[in-house]
Structure 1
């Protein structure tokens, strides 16, 4: 999935990888490319999602780390937890040509789509109810703002 899925992700999750890109990236490279903070990168490292090489105080991220970061950001943006993302990424190392990883990813993606569709229906229903209530309140306020017609005095 790291190679297979990172190639199909939206361009907003970093520039497309090319053969011309170096094999190592500094924290500054990834911060600039993905529009995230160095603190975010260090957090993902603490969580075991990225494993940069250390040279003194400098962190050097591999192409694999870059691809994993891209997948983490994509996963987070569509509602996956970091734990769910890590579980999918960890399947990469099974050595089965990514078949298990891709199968699990497909299942999780389909489940997430069903979840999002249900949430969309709930939001659409809430939107319709709130719009209806708003229209009633507007009509009542408009009625209150209209001057009352003059009352004709009845002869006694």
Structure 2
């Protein structure tokens, strides 16, 4: 039987470049316990699990999830029952996030409509003053 190939690992520089984040960002997520690279002296060694978790963290941030919700989702992935409980939780969070964003969109549309009306009134008043 052939020996197993060594697991691929990444340095902080490689992982930061891959995800287009700063070293400080990566270290911040480490300080929060969201990723846990292996330490060899002062060198951080990132494994596939860290890379996957960093990808999930950044995706969650792009979608507007707070870090504590992202932590819960990631922790559920590691919990017994694994993916099912994670997916149920994520779906509930998606529903909440979607409702929040849809409300914000309605609020923005209402504000833009009000601005349009106000602009129209101002232009009408201006044209009356110009005549």
Which TM bucket (shorter chain)? Answer: 0.7 to 0.9
The residue aligned with 1:6 is none
Single out whichever of 51-60 and 135-144 deviates more from structure 2.
135-144
Equivalences, count:
125
1:42 and 2:31 aligned: no
Corresponding residue for residue 87 of structure 2: 102
CA RMSD, aligned part only? Answer: 1.5
Scaled by the length of structure 2, what TM-score is found? 0.87
3-state DSSP class of the match of 1:25? coil
Contact 2:37-2:47 at 8 Å conserved across structures: yes
Distance in 1, Cα, partners of 2:82 & 2:69: 21
The alignment partner of 2:29 has SS state of helix
In structure 2, runs of 5+ residues without a counterpart are: 1-6
Q: Which has the higher contact order (CA 8 A, sep 6+)?
A: 1
Aligned: 1:87 with 2:87 = no
Cα distance in structure 2, aligned partners of 1:77 and 1:85: 11
Relative distance call for 1:42 and 1:101 in structure 2 (3 A) is same
Query: 1:38-84 CA distances to partner (integer Å, 9 max, x unpaired)?
Result: 10111111111110111122111111111111111111112111011
Query: Aligned partners of 2:85, 2:119: CA distance in 1, in Å?
Result: 50
Could you say which structure has the higher helix fraction? 2
Query: Structure 1-normalised TM-score?
Result: 0.74
Counterpart check, 1:25 vs 2:3: no
Gaps of 5+ in 1: 1-21, 149-156
Q: Deviations over 1:101-123 (max 9, x none)?
A: 11111111111111111111111
Larger-gyration structure (1/2): 1
Runs of 4 or more off by more than 4 Å in structure 1?
Answer: none
